[in-house]
Structure 1
Amino acid sequence: MNIADQIVLVTGGARGVGAAAVRAFAREGARVVVNWRNSGEAAQGLAAEIGARAIALQADVADRPAVQAMVEKAQAHFGGPVTTVVNNALDYSFNGDARSMLADIGWRELENQFSTVVRGALNVIQATAPGMMTVGFGRVVNIGTNLFQNPVVPYHDYTAAKAALLSLTRTASADLGPAGITVNMVSGGLLRTTDASAATPDAVFDLIAGMTPLRHVTTPEEFADAVLFFASPWSRAVTGQNLVVDGGLVRD
């Protein structure tokens, strides 16, 4: 299925990577659901910017009934099942100086990240997969991180949750593959700049840029274009994979 024929749900779609993904899919002609939890004004503004091919819908992805209701509203609005999901929802601030250290981080901090990142992705996949099966086509793209390969800053809670999401990516791909649904991950490093990375000092951005072959910190727009690949016909034989998009910083 071409991107222009897809109905795409982007969780956490009002800001940062999510908003860049929404704009990228809209640019290619897709109909897009901009999911939001707290950023209602930004989500409504983004949907208005795109026009009739976008709708903003609120749901906390950690709340399964709310996710189910959102998916049903989206399908009623667009007249068909959600075919493509970008699991991007995140509640985190990347500030190495303020991070919780291993000696005193509490389980609750990890649990909070698992709730949004892993439970949220699971809820969305479970709510959308039946509709995908009715048309014999589905694309799930989970947003990951290069930090579990290169923990240059040890964000213990965030990184553990994203590592678990990679495992879910691979196990879900095995279950959903026979139904024509692929499940992949796109993993970034530090992006310049999102709300989540706004607290990062310029010196850190410059240091990372100097470590990449491109001498450049990846932007949300560049990252979003890689997400499009996994929704496109060119990736039809690819599933259970993790594509690192960070300017070549991590190469394994």
Structure 2
Amino acid sequence: MLLQRTVLITGGARGIGASIAAALSARGDRVIAPPRVELDLSSPASIEAYITAQRELPVDILVNNAGINVLNPIGGITWDTWQAMLQTNLSSALRLIQAYAPGMQARGWGRILNVSTIFSLVTKEHRAAYSMTKAALNALTRSAAVEFGPAGVLVNALAPGYVDTALTRQNNSPEAIAALTAAIPLRRLAQPEELARAAVLLVSEENTYLTGQTIVVDGGFTCQ
């Protein structure tokens, strides 16, 4: 019988995050997905207030899923844009790990999953800031795995490719979607539920030895 674990997931209201939250809830975990009004990752003050208010919360599984991607050429990245992406994509994950990993260490069990992207490993134009922040998230994943591993805390990153979400459909024309699909060896976009299944494995009791890795789920796109 699986133990009920307490899960804290950021960005759990839509897309991949919502699918991960639903999958973990379906397996019996207690899933906490705070809305932005309660936990605003772009605001260090909001993060500190949440941590303080929830200081008694025994988080067993932390999923750092929320992120932003503002497209700009390198010359067009403003300081404000860079700071916003750095804070949301990287600094918030670091702070939440600092807050909740010690409890996992004390209990002798924990799982941390950082949702990254294939653009942390490959890139394309106008994604320099996104690629940099997510590549740093991969580095944080490796460092945390080494540091917390002796206490039974496993830390991994999940790097999705192109996923069929409302945001993907909003940001790409039907013609662009068709071109993307043709470039993926499986000839289709991923479904959020497929990413959720990979995420559940990484944070579950079934994962007993896989840590410090960035797991790419992209239908073979980066193999080319």
Shift >3 Å, 4+ stretches: 194-197
Mapping for residues 229-240 of structure 1, pairs under 5 Å: 229-240=201-212
**How far, CA to CA, are the matches of 2:112 and 2:163 in structure 1?**
22
TM-superposed CA distance for 1:196, in Å, is 6.1
Q: What is aligned with 1:68?
A: 51
CA contact (8 A) 2:73 2:125 kept: no
Residues 14-59 of structure 1: CA deviation (Å, up to 9, x unaligned): 1221111110101111110012215xxxxxxxxxxxxxxxxxxx21
The 3-state SS of whatever aligns with 1:118 is helix
> Secondary structure, in 3 states, of the residue corresponding to 1:37?
coil
| Aligned match of 1:15 | 14
Normalised by the length of structure 1, the TM-score is 0.81
* SS of equivalent to 1:103: helix
Taking the TM superposition and a 5 Å limit, the aligned residue runs for 1:77-226 are 81-92=58-69, 99-195=71-167, 198-226=170-198
Q: CA deviation at 1:207?
A: 1.5
1:85 and 1:70 map into 2 onto residues whose CA distance is: 17
**Aligned positions, number:** 221
Q: Give the stretch that moved more between structures: 152-161 or 239-248.
A: 152-161
Alpha-carbon separation, structure 2, partners of 1:195 and 1:213? 22
Q: Deviations over 1:231-252 (max 9, x none)?
A: 1223210111000011111139
- Alpha-carbon contact 2:121-2:135 (below 8 Å) kept: no
Measured after TM superposition, the shift of residue 222 of structure 1 is 1.1
Ranges in structure 2 where 5+ consecutive residues have no aligned partner: none
- Do residues 251 (structure 1) and 209 (structure 2) align? no
Q: Which runs of 5+ in 1 are unaligned?
A: 39-57, 76-80, 94-98
Aligned-pair identity in percent equals 34
Residue by residue over 1:188-210, the C-alpha shift from the partner in whole angstroms, topping out at 9 and shown as x without a partner, is 12211143662222222222221
Output the amino acid matched with 1:116.
Answer: T
Query: Which letter does structure 2 place at the counterpart of 1:84?
Result: I
The CA RMSD measured in Å over matched residues stands at: 2.0
CA distance in structure 2 between the partners assigned to 1:112 and 1:196 by the alignment: 21
Q: Quote the residue 2:29 is aligned against.
A: 30
Aligned-partner Cα distance in 2 for 1:173–1:100: 32
The letter of the residue matching 2:51 is Q
Q: Give the distance between the partners of 2:202 and 2:9, measured in 1 at CA.
A: 14
TM-score normalised over the length of structure 2: 0.90
Amino acid at match of 1:204: A
The structural deviation recorded for 1:111 is: 1.7
